[in-house]
A = this chain, B = another copy of it.
Amino acid sequence: MSNSLYTLAQQLEQAIRTSEDFQQLKRAYEAVRRDETAYRMFNHFRQLQLQLHEKQFTGAAISPEEVEQAQKAMALTQQNEKLSTLMALEQRMSMTIADMNQIIMKPLEELYRSFAE
């Protein structure tokens, strides 16, 4: 990778790190970490989510009970203020990262599109 691309990517990384959105997300994680109940709920929910994603990925059967269990865990986390805040901030950050990836992918996408025409 050329120096100027590397330097710009690192500037972007630093800008993400110091952005208000990222700092808010970091504080939301710290708040959950300090709260044993929220921390346990969050890890339980993440674990269930991971199991479901693995099953979807490998094509394994997902029982209605597993779906119900994940929905219940999701509803519980949404009722916890620290967790609902964390998840809203996570979603915003994911959208920002996705937007940046989309911008960076534009030159290649345009090139592929013009070639396929």
Measured CB to CB, the residues of A under 8 A from B are: 1-2, 4-6, 8-13, 15-17, 19-22, 25-26, 29, 32-33, 59, 93, 95-97, 99-101, 103-108, 111, 115
B10 touches A103 (CB 8 A): yes
Judged by DSSP, the binding face of A is: helix
User: How far does the alpha carbon of A13 sit from the alpha carbon of B99 in the complex, in Å?
Assistant: 12
A115 touches B12 (CB 8 A): no
B100 touches A9 (CB 8 A): yes
A17 touches B97 (CB 8 A): no
Shortest Cβ distance from A33 into B: residue: B115
- Smallest CB separation, A7 vs chain B (Å): 9
Shortest Cβ distance from A90 into B: residue: B108
Question: Which of these, B2, B99, B103, B111, contacts A20 with CB under 8 Å?
Answer: B2
Which chain B residues lie closer than 8 Å to A19 at the CB level?
A: 2, 4-5
Given contacts A8-B12, A29-B115, contact A97 B103 (CB under 8 A): no
